[in-house]
């Protein structure tokens, strides 16, 4: 029996070769009708025998195009039409344009094969791509995603490319960045004077890298700085020039096989490494790996990744492995244009391997780790943006500004949040400009005009001032409430939960610096159920930079340790003037707020053990403490959980510090002390959670905050709570650090609007 079916297919179904696949399957099944892109996804109409139509859908669901993701297929039967053939109908551009814009995708195996086939017309062409791979988000100026609105617009397709682009049978049908050596972008190698060098740019760049030189390489979302990863001296030179003394540098390997010689990894990590998102995956380094020690001096891990553009593949075939770190100074935004690269070319890079396809949007590499068998994002950027995150609440569009460090922001529409790429440290002027531009850009992409802006409660954050100047209605969200809410969003929860946040610094409404918080909360509000014990933070930021001061602050604020000989040892590592100043500040409470920060506790213990007196990147003291911790140590120190009936419970670790001081005095191993400190912190968290269950019936615990980037702590806390029967939720989609909080801010703002009956509803978009 002949019938006609109309199906609306939702998911990632545009810009990924979906229509040609539908076309091919329909043709092969001898069905008539059409396929076209629609605002909601893809619409297919099929006419023919019922069993062939069923066969078509079964095949499409079983074998969709490689980069597609089918979320739903809605089918209805309609009256027969009069076509005798199947066609790809022109696109009606309206409504949800973002459906058609996937993230940037790593080069697919078919394109790689062409790149290496001397008989292929794309042999060795570094901008080869197809519908299944290549740049997207980083080349689009505006939507809909069509070539004239991308940075490929200036390149006229040659006849051969045009034929591919127009043929539904071809892998390059409708592939917007389609190009070849005859018509597409061109590579050149330039010296600091801006002169293009003669010869093959890739061969010459490889030669320079082999000779230990630093080469800036234009990638998808910005320039990398590349240097030979096997040799100490060039790596050290790169660090010095880039002003990045010790934070780990990412390493790109030519192949999985080569990577196997340097790092250990299992099937889950292999899948991450090979996925089209192609993140940096943090892996344990093999002893004796042929890599410079200077790559990650504070850990035994390596941030490893594989080539994700044809240019990377061609370069790495000639010289590998390479350090590939963001092309910037310190924490500035990654260089995107030749103009932005100019201050680095010469002072930092000896050459630049660049090209004439403009990067429209900056986008840093994403960074992931596998922790306890689950993905733990450190940075969610290239390959993920602009994939939306679904919220458990919806309402009128909101801009959520995020935090000050590792900033990302998000813009919502309905129940979707579009989380931005990595922006950086907002206190830095170029990063702040990048933030402001990008907020506008995202609102345009989503076609929304938000009327509400959610920001951190901190009055001095640049993002708070930006929010207050925006003219929009503002919602201030407490930092750790946002942390907890961000985990709730990932797990589709609205609460109540016990939100555990262990991190560095967050503004507290009581005039203290929060950072070790247990909030009994839902999305709309929180009660501070418990906190870590207070320590003085002499001079605020200065002590954040100098953990040795934090160690002294911990020792001096407890009469039992204030006169210990360990104090003398710590003092001996500080300049005399600083010692006097810090001691006086603590005594008088001058410019010395109190803090319940877990991050500062890590700092203090790390400095007490002599692991880190001063940091050059955020979290460094904690990283060293984590890596110092010995395996197979079960013991823990004492701690106290106090309730004076007047406020939150206090999880007091001064007994822990006393125990550590005793152990240091008696010459115990630093590795053992560090391990016991981790065990103690986990035990303390567990004790608070049990108390919250007894008093508040809270069975679900969320874990967030930068300290949970430490997979040792994350594992101990998760295992302990799980054995107590708690539902434990941690981050898998956005980072636990402040790069995740925009998501929580947005959810809180939406939940509050709903609670006070202020929901403008879908009509208000």
Q: What is the dihedral of CA 313, 318, 319, 324, to 10 degrees?
A: -30
What's the min distance (Å) between Cβ of 407 and Zn ion? 11
My answer on whether omega of the bond before 638 falls inside 30° of 0, hence cis, is no
Query: In whole angstroms, how close is the CB of 177 to Zn ion at the nearest point?
Result: 10
d(CA 269, CA 65): 23
**Peptide bond before residue 439 is cis, with ω within 30 degrees of 0:** no
Nearest-approach distance from CB 180 to Zn ion, in angstroms? 3
Q: Can you say how many angstroms the Cα of residue 621 is from the centroid of all Cα atoms in its chain?
A: 22
- Nearest-5° angle of CA 478, CA 479, CA 482? 85
What is the closest distance, in whole angstroms, from the C-beta atom of residue 161 to Zn ion in the complex?
3
| Shortest CB 120 distance to Zn ion, Å | 13
In the complex, the smallest distance separating the C-beta of residue 666 from Zn ion, rounded to whole angstroms, is: 36
Smallest separation (angstroms) from Zn ion to the CB of 376: 16
Residue ranges in contact with Zn ion by CB under 5 A: 108, 111, 130, 132-133, 158, 161, 180, 182-183, 503, 738
Q: How far is the CB of 650 from Zn ion (least distance, A)?
A: 20
CB of 737 to Zn ion, least distance (A): 7
User: In the complex with Zn ion, which residue's Cβ is closer, 48 or 508?
Assistant: 508
Structure tokens at 731: 């981050």
Extended beta strands in 134-279, E state: 187-190, 215-218, 223-228, 251-252
Q: Is 733 helix (H, G, I), strand (E, B) or coil?
A: coil
Query: What is the helix (H) or strand (E) element at residue 441, kind and residue range?
Result: helix 429-446
Which of 132/656 has CB closer to Zn ion?
132
151-158: long-range pairs with CB below 8 Å, 24+: 151/357, 151/358, 151/359, 151/360, 152/176, 152/177, 152/179, 152/184, 152/357, 155/179, 155/183, 155/184, 155/185, 155/357, 156/183, 157/183, 158/182, 158/183
Q: Rank residues 183 and 472 by Cβ distance to Zn ion and give the closer one.
A: 183
With respect to Zn ion, which residue has the nearer C-beta, 158 or 567?
Answer: 158
CB of 741 to Zn ion, least distance (A): 6
CB of 130 to Zn ion, least distance (A): 3
The Cα 618–Cα 718 span in angstroms is 24
Residue 183 or residue 633: which is nearer to Zn ion going by CB? 183
Phi, psi of 34 (to 5 degrees): -155, 165
> Whose Cβ is closer to Zn ion: residue 122's or residue 686's?
122
Is 130 or 360 the residue whose CB approaches Zn ion more closely?
Answer: 130
For 99-168, give the DSSP string. Answer: GG-PPPBPPPHHHHHHHT-TTSTTTT-TT--BTTBB-STTTBSSSS--GGGBTTTTSPPPHHHHHHHH-T
Q: Which is nearer to Zn ion, 618 or 652 (CB)?
A: 618
* Residues 372 and 713: beta-carbon distance below 8 Å: no
CB of residue 466 to Zn ion, shortest distance in Å: 19
Comparing CB distances to Zn ion, the nearer of 22 and 513 is: 513
Q: Alpha carbon of 322 to those of 215, 339, 394, 579: distances in Å?
A: 10, 24, 45, 43
Task: Indicate the residue among 111 and 660 with the shorter CB distance to Zn ion.
Answer: 111
- Could you give phi then psi for residue 223, rounded to 5 degrees? -85, 140
DSSP output for 698-732: --EEEEESGGGG-HHHHHHHHHHHHHTT-EEE--S
Q: What is the C-alpha separation between 524 and 750, in angstroms, rounded?
A: 8
CA 246 to chain centre: 20
Nearer to Zn ion (CB atom), residue 33 or residue 508: 508
Going from the C-alpha of 672 to that of each of 637, 638, 678, the distances in angstroms are 11, 15, 10
Distance from C-alpha of 57 to C-alpha of 55, rounded to nearest angstrom: 6
Compute the least distance from the CB of residue 104 to Zn ion, in Å.
12
Nearer to Zn ion, 158 or 668 (CB): 158
Nearest approach in angstroms of CB 93 to Zn ion is 25
When the beta carbons of 133 and 376 are compared against Zn ion, the nearer one is: 133
Q: Which residues contact 565 (CB under 8 A, 6 or more apart)?
A: 665
> Based on CB atoms, which residue is closest to Zn ion, 108 or 728?
108
- Are 334 and 362 in contact by the 8 Å Cβ rule? The answer is yes
CB 714 within 8 A of CB 708: yes
């Amino acid at each position: 029996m002949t019938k006609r079916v109309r199906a609306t297919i939702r998911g990632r179904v545009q810009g990924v070769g979906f229509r040609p696949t539908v076309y091919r399957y329909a043709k092969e099944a001898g069905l008539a009708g059409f396929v076209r892109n629609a605002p909601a996804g893809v619409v297919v109409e099929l006419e023919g025998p019922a069993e062939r139509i069923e066969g078509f859908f079964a095949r499409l669901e079983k074998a969709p195009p490689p980069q597609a993701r089918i979320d739903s297929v809605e089918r209805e039967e309609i009256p027969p039409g009069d076509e005798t053939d199947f066609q790809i109908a022109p696109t009606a551009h309206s409504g949800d344009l973002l459906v058609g814009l996937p993230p940037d995708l790593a080069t697919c195996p078919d394109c790689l094969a062409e790149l290496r086939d001397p008989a292929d017309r794309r042999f060795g062409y570094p901008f080869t791509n197809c519908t299944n791979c290549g740049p997207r988000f980083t080349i689009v100026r505006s939507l809909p995603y069509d070539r004239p609105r991308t940075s490929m617009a200036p390149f006229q397709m040659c006849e051969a490319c045009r034929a591919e682009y127009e043929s539904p049978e071809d892998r390059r049908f409708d592939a917007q960045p389609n190009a070849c050596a005859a018509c597409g972008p061109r590579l050149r190698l330039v010296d600091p004077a801006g002169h293009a060098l003669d010869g093959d740019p890739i061969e010459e760049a490889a030669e320079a890298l082999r000779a230990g030189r630093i080469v800036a390489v234009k990638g998808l979302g910005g320039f990398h700085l590349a240097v030979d990863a096997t040799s100490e001296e060039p790596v050290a030179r790169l660090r010095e020039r880039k002003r990045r003394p010790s934070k780990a540098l990412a390493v790109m390997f030519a192949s999985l096989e080569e990577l196997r010689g340097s790092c250990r990894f299992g099937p889950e990590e292999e899948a991450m490494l090979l996925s089209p998102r192609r993140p940096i995956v943090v892996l344990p380094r093999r002893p004796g790996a042929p890599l410079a020690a200077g790559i990650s001096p504070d850990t035994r891990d390596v941030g490893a990744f594989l080539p994700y553009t044809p240019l990377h593949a061609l370069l790495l075939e000639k010289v590998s492995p390479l350090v590939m770190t963001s092309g910037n100074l310190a924490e500035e935004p990654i260089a995107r244009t030749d103009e932005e690269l100019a201050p680095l070319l010469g002072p930092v890079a000896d050459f630049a391997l660049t090209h004439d396809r403009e990067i429209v949007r900056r986008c840093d590499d994403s960074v992931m780790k596998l922790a306890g068998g689950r993905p733990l994002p450190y940075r969610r950027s290239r390959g993920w943006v602009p994939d939306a995150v679904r919220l458990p609440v919806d309402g009128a569009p909101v801009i959520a500004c995020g935090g000050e460090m590792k900033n990302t922001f998000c813009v919502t529409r309905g129940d979707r949040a579009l989380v931005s790429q990595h922006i950086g440290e907002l206190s830095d002027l170029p990063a702040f400009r990048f933030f402001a531009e990008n907020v506008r850009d995202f609102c345009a992409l989503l076609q929304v005009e938000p009327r509400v802006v959610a920001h951190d409660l901190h009055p001095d954050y640049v993002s708070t001032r930006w929010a207050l100047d925006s003219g929009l209605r503002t919602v201030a969200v407490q930092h750790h409430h946002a942390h907890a809410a961000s985990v709730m969003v990932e797990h589709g929860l609205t609460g109540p939960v016990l939100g555990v946040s262990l991190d560095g610094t967050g503004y507290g409404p009581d005039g203290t610096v929060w950072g070790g918080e247990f909030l009994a909360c839902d999305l709309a509000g929180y009660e501070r159920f418990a906190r870590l014990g207070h320590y003085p933070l002499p001079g605020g930021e200065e002590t954040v930079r100098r953990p040795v001061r934090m160690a002294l602050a911990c020792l001096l604020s407890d009469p039992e340790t204030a006169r210990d000989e360990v104090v003398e040892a710590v003092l001996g590592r500080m300049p005399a003037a600083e010692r006097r100043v810090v001691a006086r500040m603590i005594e008088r409470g001058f410019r010395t707020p109190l803090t319940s920060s877990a991050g500062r506790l890590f700092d203090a213990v790390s400095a007490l053990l002599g692991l880190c007196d001063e940091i050059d990147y955020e979290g460094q003291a904690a990283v060293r403490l984590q890596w110092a911790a010995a395996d197979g140590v079960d013991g823990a120190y004492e701690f106290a959980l106090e309730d004076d009936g007047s406020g939150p419970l206090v999880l007091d670790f001064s007994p822990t510090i006393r125990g550590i001081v005793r152990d240091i005095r008696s010459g115990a191993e630093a590795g053992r002390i560090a391990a016991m400190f981790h065990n103690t912190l986990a035990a303390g968290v567990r004790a608070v959670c049990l108390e919250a269950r007894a008093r508040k019936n809270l069975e679900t615990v969320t874990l967030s905050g930068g300290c949970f980037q430490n997979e040792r702590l994350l594992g101990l806390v998760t295992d302990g709570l799980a054995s107590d029967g708690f539902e434990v939720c941690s981050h898998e989609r956005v980072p636990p650090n402040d790069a995740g909080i925009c998501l929580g801010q947005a959810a809180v703002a939406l939940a509050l609007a709903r609670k006070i009956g202020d929901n403008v509803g879908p009509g208000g978009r």
